[in-house]
């Protein structure tokens, strides 16, 4: 099964997002939405499974929950930074403190978003993280963009997140779920589903 999935993702040249969360509802909802947006998805219910998938597949972005049984998100983030420091990681959590968010960002997380997940906020963060890759694969963009340029873009985003962390992560009005056109049930449940509030 794993090899078949790998062939499908590679054949379609999809940007691949690894979704790591111990809540099945969150994993499935994020998968449905990201696939609707044209991304390939891999799912892991814990940190150990996530690290195993990273060994087997080429991943372009990780959405990583902080509070999980076993290896927590910060431990997984540290291991990712040791083995693949250029891989962008977006942390997600429903019980974040400013200290935890700052720590994750300083450890290398590109962004930090809070549960309950807002559809627009989540997609903006994903697109921003994958922007260098999407530009690289775009036919009208210079394909010779260096990995150093990409790493520099990631560093810039992390600095921006740090500077604006308290305002962006913890001001409730920026994360209030708002009505969006319901293309699928999954799109609605991402903003309003009860299963997306924990972890």
Residues in the chain: 199
Q: What's the pLDDT score for residue 12?
A: 60
Q: What's the pLDDT score for residue 170?
A: 43
Q: What's the pLDDT score for residue 21?
A: 98
Q: What's the pLDDT score for residue 45?
A: 97
Q: Supply 135's token pair.
A: 């530009």
Please tell me whether the overall predicted TM-score, pTM, comes out greater than 0.95 for this model: no
Q: What's the Cα-to-Cα distance from 78 to each of 7, 24, 26, 107, 183, rounded to whole Å?
A: 29, 24, 23, 7, 37
Q: For the chain, which domains are there?
A: 2-192 (3.40.50.2300)
Q: How many other CB atoms are there within 10 angstroms of residue 81's CB atom?
A: 15
Q: What's the pLDDT score for residue 13?
A: 76
Residues 132-144 have pLDDT tens digits of: 888 777 655 444 4
Phi, psi (degrees; rounded to nearest 5) at 43: -120, 140
Cα 127 from chain centre: 10
Residue numbers of the chain with a pLDDT score lower than 50:
1, 7, 11, 141-148, 150-156, 166-192, 194-195, 197-198
Q: What's the pLDDT score for residue 87?
A: 98
Distance between CA atoms of residues 16 and 98, nearest Å: 29
**Which helix (DSSP H) or strand (DSSP E) does residue 165 occupy?**
helix 147-170
Instruction: Tell me the H-state helices in 2-107.
Output: 2-12, 24-36, 47-56, 73-83, 98-107
Distance between CA atoms of residues 120 and 54, nearest Å: 27
């Amino acid at each position: 099964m794993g090899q078949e999935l790998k062939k499908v993702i590679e054949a379609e040249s999809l940007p691949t997002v690894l979704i790591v969360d111990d809540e099945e509802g969150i994993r499935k909802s994020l998968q449905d939405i990201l696939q609707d947006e044209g991304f390939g998805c891999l799912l892991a219910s814990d940190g150990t499974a996530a690290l195993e998938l990273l060994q087997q597949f080429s991943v372009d972005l990780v959405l990583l929950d902080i509070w999980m049984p076993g290896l927590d998100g910060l431990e997984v983030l540290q291991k990712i930074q040791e083995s693949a420091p250029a891989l962008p990681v977006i942390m997600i959590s429903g019980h974040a403190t400013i200290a935890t968010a700052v720590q994750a960002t300083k450890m290398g997380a590109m962004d930090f978003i809070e549960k309950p997940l807002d559809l627009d906020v989540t997609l903006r963060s994903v697109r921003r993280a994958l922007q260098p890759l999407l530009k690289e694969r775009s036919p009208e963009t210079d394909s010779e963009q260096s990995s150093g340029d990409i790493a520099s873009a990631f560093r810039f985003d992390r600095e921006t997140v740090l500077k604006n962390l308290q305002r962006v992560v913890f001001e409730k009005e920026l994360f209030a779920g708002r009505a969006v056109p319901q293309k699928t049930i999954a799109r609605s449940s991402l903003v309003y589903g009860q299963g997306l509030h924990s972890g």
